[in-house]
Amino acid sequence: MLTWLTMLIQKIEGANLVIAVILAMWLLYMILFLAVKANRTKKALKTALIAGAVVTEICDIVWFFKFFDNFDYINPGISGYMWFCLLPLLMFIAVMFFSYINASRYEFDKKKREKEQEKQRKAEKRRKKYEKQQQDEEL
């Protein structure tokens, strides 16, 4: 945020474009994150937002030290554009990492639910058998 604000305050050409690209990266990040079914929980969404904010802030700090010296803008030329590729790269890595973790957690929870349902089904079967025996004994 420090880089964006400094760019806007100093009225550096292209500052609005940088902010628009960052917002587009966030939109793409969330679309990719929500494309995986296991990521569509409140906990996973909260994790995604926090991870995205951390990644964006890391990139912002790197950009600030690359593009500013004592709050004075340094124009690195064409080579400076490569530094802006850091944000999509780190966001893509975050999506892949958290999607992998959430998918494995989702599968574990799914198996756990299936086992619990099987236990419930067996218990219901035993209860019905016991009730039937009780009715037979009464007759």
Average pLDDT of the chain is: 87
pLDDT digit string, tens, across residues 52-95: 999 999 999 998 898 888 888 888 888 888 888 899 999 999 99
More confident residue, 80 or 130: 130
> What is the separation, in whole angstroms, between the first and last Cα of the chain?
80
Enter the pTM of the model: 0.71
Question: pLDDT tier at 26 (50, 70, 90 boundaries)?
Answer: very high
Amino acid at 88: P
Percent of the chain with pLDDT over 70: 99
Pick the more confident residue, 118 or 77.
118
- Per-residue pLDDT, averaged over 4-17, amounts to 81
38 Cβ neighbours under 8 A, 6+ residues apart: 44, 99, 102, 103, 105, 106, 107
27-48 burial, b if ≥16 CB within 10 A, otherwise e?
Answer: eebbebbeebebbeeeebeebb
pLDDT attached to residue 139: 67
| 37-50 residue pLDDT tens | 888 889 889 989 99
pLDDT at 2 over 80: no
Q: Answer for the pair 3, 63: CB distance below 8 angstroms, yes or no.
A: yes
The whole-angstrom separation of Cα 120 and Cα 72 is 68
Structure tokens at 108: 């574990």
Token pair in block for residue 45: 């969404």
